[in-house]
Amino acid sequence: MNKQLFTFWLICLLPFTLLAQEKAVPTPQWRPVYHFTPAKNWTNDPNGLIYLNGVYHLYYQHNPYENKWGHMSWGHATSTDLLNWKHLPVAIPEIETKDTTTWIFSGCAVLDKNNTSGFGVKGKAPLVAIYTADQPKQQKESQFVAYSNDGGLTFINYAGNPVVDIHKKDFRDPSVIWMEEQQQWVMTVAVPHEHKLQFYSSKDLKKWDLLSEFGNQGDTRKIWECPSLTPLYVDGDPAKKKWLIMISSGNQDAATGMQYFIGDFDGKTFKNDNPAEHQQFVDYGRTFYAAIPYNNLPDGRHTMLGWLMPFETPTYPWRGQMSIARDLLLKSTPEGVRLYQQPAAVLNASLEKLPASKKLVKQQVEVDGEMPLNKGKQFSSNANWIDVTFIPGTGEEFGLKLGQNVANGTEIIVGYNKAHKELYIANEKGVVMDKVSVKPAEGKIRLQVLFDKSSLEVFVNGGERVLTTLIFPGEKATGCALFSAKGKVMVETLKVWDLAK
Ligand code: FRU
């Protein structure tokens, strides 16, 4: 730059250049305490969820360099209790060569116990990641495998990649399970714009054969991504096995969402139990997305993590968080078999271990108006887990008020409207963000409310419906209360845990 030009830039353009740069304001008040967030920078989907030797591994879509989507790599964290996470170095970084950029998109991880792949060394079972290689310059997505012989810390990309390639721009998010009876691996993978899944089988995780396709059923208004296929026992009865397919796509009212199908899978094809047009959704809030189940869990447990998609309010120095670990359950209902979700049962052990000062238990209390739950610093952390069962009375609406700011009257409401039989969440601006129809079960409404600084997960009636959203209460907005409007409600049982460290 010559001197004149430099002076012009310094005087006239530099101020604008500086102003144009987004001012990143740290937001520690919104950093969740018991939900996973990366130490810094962006995350989206959970990937490669696998349980190994008492440790839950979480790989995740990560931009290691910026607080926005890009440079997709697999970040890595581990936990022994699904509440506290240890950050580890990036496990699978993007691959940059002279002609190709390969971004490491979503996928799964399996423990290859019998070393079917031959990737294992010294008789040890390798951990194998199966992911989508997104190559923007080639306008292509195909499925790659990579293996780890150091317990999942680092991976080596297989020299024979891709292992599945149908020469498409959009073809992604493989999810692999081992089928003992058929002695085969089965991959479920999405062709997003065709609203379809493909199933492949393999004996060695390297050579894959197309089994069948499933699609154009349920909700097809948005692209299909991040599928999974999980066997589950209905009502816990081993004689009643069904297969659950979950897919991330749009739902009726929200920008994002996940739907599910229940049916049979014989190792080749999936047969939907419901008519093709029947639609069922996993979560009725606008933020729960890209959830996949853990592989290799003991005791027939099936537990998933989802991504809480950040919208509107930016957080810094990280963006995006994971949901609480959720158990997947299939239950018989008069309408047919339905998916129920519960915060993972293993989390109860951690709740029980909390000191008495961080627990509140009440029974048979009548609420008329507002009943505060926080006292001074107690239960004022905005990191509360609340389990409350209401028996509706004369009150037209009842529920919880969270993140209350007594000074300016703002609050977040998790409310049940008796006449509309509807649960809703209104944010600090009084705007109803999300709602879902749900009837009392045996005359009661049970709410399990997981409030963690900026996320809110509400499980209604034992997980018959789940509503997840993001909220951004002000720093001093830490009040928490039960309420009943225009009449009374009976609180049959109440338990509150304060999870702040
Ligand atoms: C879903 C998704 C996946 C893809 C990944 C890329 O959020 O679009 O389909 O693999 O994110 O980050």
Given a cut of 50, is residue 1 above it in pLDDT? Answer: no
Give mean pLDDT, residues 217-236.
Answer: 96
**Ligand 1: residue whose CA is nearest its atom 9:** 225
Cβ of 94 less than 6 Å from ligand 1: no
Please tell me the distance between residue 260's alpha carbon and the centre of ligand 1 in angstroms: 18
Pocket residue to mutate for ligand 1, from 43, 61, 143, most atoms within 8 A of Cβ:
61
Tens of pLDDT, residue by residue over 376-412, are: 888 999 999 999 999 999 999 999 999 999 889 999 9
Pocket residue to mutate for ligand 1, from 101, 195, 225, 289, most atoms within 8 A of Cβ:
225
Cβ of 173 less than 6 Å from ligand 1: yes
Tens of pLDDT, residue by residue over 186-219, are: 999 999 999 999 999 999 999 999 999 999 999 9
Q: Exposure string (b/e) for 53-63, b if CB count within 10 Å is 16 or more?
A: eeebbbbbbbb
Lowest model confidence (mean pLDDT) among 310-314, 320-324, 387-391, 423-427: 310-314
Give mean pLDDT, residues 142-159.
Answer: 98
The structure tokens 């020299």 sit at 159
pLDDT of residue 110: 98
Please tell me the distance between residue 359's alpha carbon and the centre of ligand 1 in angstroms: 39
Percentages (nearest 5) of helix, strand, coil residues in the chain: 10, 50, 40
**What atom in ligand 1 is closest to the CA of residue 132?**
10
Given a cut of 80, is residue 8 above it in pLDDT? Answer: no
Please tell me the distance between residue 289's alpha carbon and the centre of ligand 1 in angstroms: 10
pLDDT of residue 16: 39
Cβ of 171 less than 6 Å from ligand 1: no
Cβ of 106 less than 6 Å from ligand 1: yes
pLDDT of residue 17: 43
Please tell me the distance between residue 137's alpha carbon and the centre of ligand 1 in angstroms: 17
**What atom in ligand 1 is closest to the CA of residue 107?**
10
**What atom in ligand 1 is closest to the CA of residue 72?**
12
pLDDT of residue 377: 87
Name the percent of the chain lying above pLDDT 70.
94
Give mean pLDDT, residues 338-353.
Answer: 97
Q: Are 149 and 82 in contact (CB under 8 A)?
A: no
Please tell me the distance between residue 106's alpha carbon and the centre of ligand 1 in angstroms: 6
Tens of pLDDT, residue by residue over 98-113, are: 999 999 999 999 999 9
pLDDT of residue 11: 46
Cβ of 44 less than 6 Å from ligand 1: yes
When the pLDDT of each residue in the chain is averaged and rounded to a whole number, the result is 93
Given a cut of 60, is residue 13 above it in pLDDT? Answer: no
Q: Which of 244, 193, 258 is nearest to 45 (CA)?
A: 258
Please tell me the distance between residue 61's alpha carbon and the centre of ligand 1 in angstroms: 8
Task: Give the C-alpha distances (Å, rounded to integers) separating 422 from 306, 391, 395, 414, 450.
Answer: 24, 15, 14, 11, 19
Cis peptide before 28 (omega within 30 of 0): no
**Ligand 1: residue whose CA is nearest its atom 6:** 105
pLDDT of residue 15: 43
pLDDT of residue 314: 85
DSSP state of 69: S
Provide φ and ψ at 452, rounded to 5°.
-135, 80
Given a cut of 80, is residue 9 above it in pLDDT? Answer: no
Active-site positions read 45
**Sign of torsion over alpha carbons 249, 251, 257, 258:** negative
Given a cut of 90, is residue 331 above it in pLDDT? Answer: yes
Q: Are 228 and 290 in contact (CB under 8 A)?
A: no
List, in order of start, the domains of the chain with CATH numbers: 3-346 (2.115.10.20), 354-498 (2.60.120.560)
Name the percent of the chain lying above pLDDT 90.
88
Q: Are 44 and 73 in contact (CB under 8 A)?
A: no
Q: What confidence tier does 251 reach under pLDDT thresholds 50, 70, 90?
A: low
pLDDT of residue 19: 39
Q: What confidence tier does 311 reach under pLDDT thresholds 50, 70, 90?
A: confident
Q: Are 232 and 330 in contact (CB under 8 A)?
A: yes
Residue 138, CA atoms < 13 Å, CB-side half-sphere: 16
**What atom in ligand 1 is closest to the CA of residue 69?**
12
**What atom in ligand 1 is closest to the CA of residue 45?**
7
Cβ of 290 less than 6 Å from ligand 1: yes
pLDDT of residue 475: 87
At 27, is the secondary structure helix, strand, or coil? coil
Give mean pLDDT, residues 447-465.
Answer: 98
DSSP state of 70: -
pLDDT of residue 313: 77
